[in-house]
Amino acid sequence: MVAAGTGVSLGLRQLGYRLTAPVSNRRAQQALWLLARRSVHSDTTIHRHDGFRVHQFPILSDNYSYLIVDEVTNEAVAVDPADPDRTLAEVEDGDLSLTAILCTHKHWDHAQGNEALAAHIPGLRVVGPALEDCPAVTEVVSGPYAAPLPIFEPGVAFFPSTLTPISYVHRR
């Protein structure tokens, strides 16, 4: 067993923080977790799958948005693009064609970019759940749905709840 604060304190020191008072392991672990999360939050991550890839990128101070990209066509859908400028930058950097938005729910930190992106890209499809009044929605989902990219088989899972009424799933 590690003495209180020693192992985690070392981790904090390696991140450039100097401890002036002893701290409990729990408090130090929480601080280390917050520091690690903060440093990771600024990174864009690309997850590769068979036929598509997912760009995960940070938005706001504590959230993420996603681009799901068809490897053949370079078409992309944005999932919860609350920061339209950051989303457009990711689209342009990847030389992608944004064809749709998949909105999971109406909270501002998920849906506030819908209107700006729809105004910027004529014909952009904005898909959202029937139980929520998401901004700029052009297609409402309340059951099985044919998704906007060829890499998706028809299928949106509809899970009614008060927090996230819809999940988008990929079935192969």
For residue 120, the SS3 value is helix
Task: State the average pLDDT over residues 127-141.
Answer: 88
> Residue 3, Cβ neighbours under 10 Å: how many?
9
Residue 85 has, within 13 A of its CA and on its CB side, a CA count of 1
Question: What is the rounded average pLDDT of the residues 27-42?
Answer: 58
Residue 122, pLDDT > 70, answer: yes
Helix (H, G, I), strand (E, B), or coil: what is residue 95? coil
How far CA 146 is from CA of 13, 43, 47, 69, 139, in Å, comes to: 51, 32, 23, 16, 11
54-58, 127-131, 162-166: the lowest-pLDDT one: 162-166
More confident residue, 166 or 133: 133
Element (H, E) at 167: strand 166-168
pLDDT at position 104 is: 85
| Average pLDDT of span 12-24 | 46
Domain boundaries, the chain: 6-40, 45-168
The pLDDT value recorded for residue 131 is 81
Residue 95's pLDDT is: 97
Question: pLDDT averaged over the chain?
Answer: 75
Question: What CATH number should be reported for the domain whose range is 45-168?
Answer: 3.60.15.10
Between 141 and 9, where is the model more confident?
A: 141
More confident residue, 106 or 144: 106
Say what percent of the chain tops pLDDT 70. 58
Least confident of 20-34, 101-115, 138-152: 20-34
pLDDT over 50 (residue 3): no
